[in-house]
Amino acid sequence: MTYQPSALQLQREDAKRRASRRSTFIALASTLAFGFIITAVVTGAQGYEKVKASFFNWHYAKAALPSVAHGLLLNLRVLVMAEFFVLLFGLLIAIARTTTSPVLYPIRLLATIYTDLFRGLPLLLVLLLVGLGIPGLRINWIPNSAVVLGTVALVLTYSAYVAEVIRAGIEGVNPTQRQAARALGLTQSQTLEHVVLPQALRNVTPPLLNDLVSLQKDSGLISVLGAVDAIRAAGIQTAQSFNFTPYLVAGALFVLLTIPLTRFTDWLTRKQDARQRAQGQW
Amino acid sequence: MSALFEVKNVRKSFGSNLVLDDVSIDFPARSATVIIGASGSGKSTLMRCMNLLEELGDGQINLNGLDISAYGVDIDAVRSQIGSVFQAFNLFPHLSVLDNITLAPRLVQKMKKEDAETLAMSLLSRFNLADKAAEYPNLLSGGQQQRVAIIRAVATNPKILLLDEVTSALDPVLIAEVLNLISELKSEGMTMVIATHEMGFAKKIADRVVFLHHGRVHESGSPSEIFDNPKTQELKDFLGALHQAGRL
């Protein structure tokens, strides 16, 4: 015998469909109203025409796009390198901070000082110290390219943030998991690798990706060292025309660059929530 | 006259897995109904459907003759009339015992803080937990935590109490203290639905026992009918397995 939905169920599903159509309509109407108000306020402002001319000029936007996009390629190279090393160092520092052996005390201390220092220092200051200070030392074998040193500065700062996120993940794994692994005879490091870290990293993936999105955007700061990235390229254009539209073009490209990662983060968070609900944690 | 709480033709599936298949059970006021069945028989899903934590696939649930599963019913208002306690105690770790109990009366029923605390203290002293009022949950034994969870559920004065395997995570001594509390609530006339593997307790407290099998009400009746004269082979097998495991 096949199942036929009851009249009651059909009625309930119908009501749900109608409510969902109504919500869609309300969302649409409120979005339109909101957009209308914003547009009215902005275009009604006294200086609107002037701001429009100096920030939203289509002609300058088109002219600036090739060189700004070319600069963005540099940002891409920098951030891929930086993301790789940030994750690597962040992981190592986090592990160093969560060790308990007395022999490793100096490493723990060093890792703690490092994270305290670089989480506190403004990124701009680190960029200037590394980018201008290190070449000033005149050590031959250290490259003095703005791109390399800018990347180093980004890695120094962001490794500290990422290390703290990963550490929170490691400490958030239930201690009984560690005990269960040790009880099975796994060594300290086997426990970390096979039991603790997989759970820790899964739990902190959303905040971790959040830091990476932030890093992508901050890769634009290497322009202060003179590297011709998207921001710098826009600055060069602006200096010629005294029109700020190129900066806006660079901004738009950075947003486009981060959107895939932010959407991925959202998707991952939703998936984790769904899994927790499926496990009946309520 | 309809029963206080009615589950009517309820159906629920997760994907292609049919978990509840046309389940209908009446729960008369002041009665204790015990639901038994193997793991995966649909007990927990039924309990979750009864307080609307799961959306029904079909059928309806009536409280006082009112269809609470109908579309557009204020679920929050309904839930405050249905007390629920579960296997994992789910006490709020950041609140003291007293605050755990007074939270819902204060926020949901808008009770004054003093009144809510008076109520909570009277419940706690009745069940010999008054000295734990200021403690935090992590300092209590499992049995104490579960008793606090039950007190928290009845503090909102619900019309019916759902207890889903509330003793499964406890050792025998702690089980006894939790079961005593449940018996006392029953003697005060609380309507309750109990999903449990404690068959001795089921025999003692149940007005009626319902045996779920593959998502269907396979057999139901008084404790003596179910435990002493099982009619179907499935129930005989289930009771036999419990017997072998020393649980009966």
Do the interacting molecules here have an ipTM over 0.85?
A: no
Domain spans of chain B, in order of start: 5-244
Tell me the average pLDDT across A60-84.
91
Q: Is residue A22 part of a domain?
A: no
Question: Which CATH superfamily groups domain B5-244?
Answer: P-loop containing nucleotide triphosphate hydrolases (3.40.50.300)
Residue A40: inside a domain: no
List, as ranges, residues 72-101 from B with C-beta within 8 Å of A. 72, 90
Place A1 in a pLDDT band, splitting at 50, 70 and 90: low
How far is Cα A186 from Cα A178, in angstroms, rounded to an integer? Answer: 9
Structure tokens at B234: 């499935």
Task: Tell me which range, A55-64, B1-10, B132-141, is most confidently predicted by mean pLDDT.
Answer: B132-141
* Separation in Å, CA A19 to CA A7, A14, A62: 18, 9, 45
| Whether B71 and A280 lie within 8 Å, measured CB to CB | no
Domain that holds residue A191: 76-226
Shortest distance between the Cα of A180 and any Cα of chain B, in A, equals 18
B216–chain A Cβ distance below 8 A for any pair: no
Flag whether A114 is in a domain.
yes
The answer to whether residue A110 is domain-embedded is: yes
Say how far apart CA A206 and CA A35 lie, in whole Å. Answer: 30
Model confidence band, residue B200 (pLDDT cutoffs 50, 70, 90): confident
Record the pTM: 0.73
pLDDT digits (tens, 9 = 90+) for A130-147: 998 888 888 888 887 889
Nearest chain A residue to B73, by CA = A12
CB pairs under 8 A between A and B: 24
A280 contacts B60? CB cut-off 8 A: no
Q: What is the pLDDT of residues A228-247, one digit of tens each?
A: 888 899 999 888 888 899 99
Q: What is the pLDDT of residue B73?
A: 87
Helix/strand/coil percentages in chain B, nearest 5: 40, 25, 35
Q: Which residue among B58, B72, B90 places its CB closest to the CB of A9?
A: B58
Q: How much is the pLDDT for A277?
A: 64
**Structure token digits, residue A94:** 């986090």
B182 falls in which pLDDT band (50, 70, 90)?
very high
CB-based contact A15 B71, cutoff 8 Å: yes
In this complex, the residue of A15, A19, A282 whose CB is nearest that of residue B53 is: A282
* Residues B119-140 as b or e (16 or more Cβ within 10 Å = b): bbbebbeebebeebbeebbeeb
Candidate from A204-208, A272-276, B175-179 with smallest mean pLDDT: A272-276
Q: Is residue A148 part of a domain?
A: yes
pLDDT above 60 (res B120) = yes
CATH number of the domain to which A164 belongs:
1.10.3720.10
User: Which residues in chain B touch residue A22, judged by CB atoms under 8 angstroms apart?
Assistant: none
Interchain proximity B11–A282, CB inside 8 Å: no
CA separation for the pair B59, B69 (Å, rounded): 8
Q: What mean pLDDT comes out for the span A154-183? A: 92
Angle in degrees, 0-180, between the axes of helices A245-278 and A197-218, rounded to the nearest 10: 170
**Angstrom distance (rounded) from CA B58 to CA B79:** 20
Contact criterion met (CB < 8 Å) for B59 and A9: yes
Query: Domain count of chain A?
Result: 1
pLDDT tens digits along B150-160? 999 999 899 99
Cβ <8 Å between A9 and B53: no
Residue of B nearest to A8 (CA): B59
Reading phi first (left if > 0) and then psi (alpha if -120 to 50, else beta), residue B170 is in beta
Measured in Å, how far apart are chain B's first and last C-alpha atoms? 36
Chain A partners within 8 Å of B71 (Cβ): 11-12, 15-16, 19
Which residue in A3, A6, A16 is closest to B71 by CB distance?
A16
Mean pLDDT of chain A: 89
